[in-house]
Structure 1
């Protein structure tokens, strides 16, 4: 029985979360062997420029998808938030695993601080426009400076005094064990304060569309609730013709047959527009959310489909 080659980005977070997912597969299928194949993507190499400047859509997945289609690997594990709404032709989502904490968080250089009591003009590190506009809605006096690189690098820059606080995803910190370290001064940002990126906290396993045997194996780690929720969020992504670099957010929660969907779009003047909807048809709910965002002032935004 052949070894299954698993593509992943080379960062510590990507390698860790890929190994965690492979461990789930091994537990269910102890007869199968897996090997990780790391890649350095365009998004990983060009950390000195913004993601918007280097192409936005798929900068963390395109090279891995090419390797998948070329047969160099059999499957790949991605942070679903990094994946464009449309996959490369010939690729398919084999599974979406159980979602981690969806929230963002602030990490402060000094203990005992919160967003509310940061000094006026405090410098916040983030390269996410989505995060910036939502925090500015609460604290318009704050200053922002781009921050890219892996989690360890970002935390080091904070501790060296380059920023007063930085914004990171709780999911990544938890997967790397950072939340167990008391040296970090963390304030989780509730979704009512900062809506997460579309699909934040969810991992996706990508494989070749034609590989039916592997797809059946991957389906065993699928979390149906997570898959249903992120599917609704990704309709918003597709309808807006957007990617993870755009100032949009969507968070769907499924309870029984009902979906609760919160969505946000930042207008060109930086103002955040929010909608909140509830219903049983996730597709229709997402499409309705996009229409309502447009009705509230998003008309003419460059990333909205004409």
Structure 2
């Protein structure tokens, strides 16, 4: 049928989500020689977009940003779903899989503030806004004397709140700021060694139906080897720790010359205690590396530590 799109992409409607969907469209067009008008982008509003009055950790966690898009994918209304990899639950709905991981952007966190040029220079009692429990815990680990409050909204909303003086500082993923063309607003880039990013940060992933061989073939053409190895490691670590928006977990895998090096940690919510591990191995063993790293953290942390983390969440 002449009016049938070559591919239908499901996405959230935020500026960053639309950038990601358009990026996937452009990659598919370039790799497979398709016109942009032949690939349709379908905007789907998710539960996470509707909830603005409380932390996502209280409302159900990561799946709130994917549920409606995945429902559209399962029923065949779209052919693929495009997500930020860090938003993806470790367990996907039956019949769905992650079929592509795109080349990864800068994974670092960006600190933004009109009050102090560096996070460490904020005055005592300053207020930092963040919706991420990982960021909240790591901020308080470095600066237990400042106050961290929940800070919801898309990138534009949070920047407006910062400009209006609702908080003294906030933090965003640098990758998203680069993609939106606002990297010049960053006050300080935090080293990944000192401030470990979210698992999956900086990576866009594609979800599709298991058994859809045509779509799988199209996605294989845009899949990035390094990003796939890194994300398989990180997601396995997250799965072992039962990671969600309710647990302050951070980690980063790096792929180089067929090998993976990984560092991951879990924190108490106030940053007062942390358990971390490092592990390396062959990239072909990516999931096993992440799993073993998770097991090591659980063993070292002990039941009391993890129970306290989960009870708080």
For normalisation by structure 2, the TM-score amounts to 0.91
Change (3 A) 1:287 1:185: closer
- For each residue in 1:177-217, what CA deviation from the matched residue of structure 2 results, as whole angstroms up to 9, or x when unmatched? 011x4xx2421111111111111111111111121011101
In the alignment, structure 1 segments of 5+ residues that lack a partner are none
Change (3 A) 1:291 1:132: same
Out of 95-104 and 267-276, give the one that drifted further. Answer: 267-276
Determine the C-alpha separation between the residues in 1 that align with 2:227 and 2:65.
22
Out of 263-272 and 93-102, give the one that drifted further. Answer: 263-272
Matched, 1:10 2:13: yes
Aligned to 1:193: 194
Q: Equivalent residue of 2:57, what SS?
A: coil
Q: Please show how residues 1-306 of structure 1 align to structure 2 within 5 Å.
A: 2-3=4-5, 4-31=7-34, 33-110=38-115, 113-179=117-183, 181=184, 184-267=185-268, 270=271, 271-280=273-282, 281-300=285-304, 301-302=306-307
In the alignment, structure 2 segments of 5+ residues that lack a partner are none
Q: CA deviation at 1:288?
A: 2.5
More helix by share: 2
Q: CA deviation at 1:42?
A: 0.5
Change (3 A) 1:211 1:283: closer
For normalisation by structure 1, the TM-score amounts to 0.93
Q: CA deviation at 1:90?
A: 1.0
Equivalenced residue count is 300
Out of 147-156 and 264-273, give the one that drifted further. Answer: 264-273
Q: Equivalent residue of 2:160, what SS?
A: helix
Q: CA deviation at 1:246?
A: 2.0
Determine the C-alpha separation between the residues in 2 that align with 1:65 and 1:153.
26
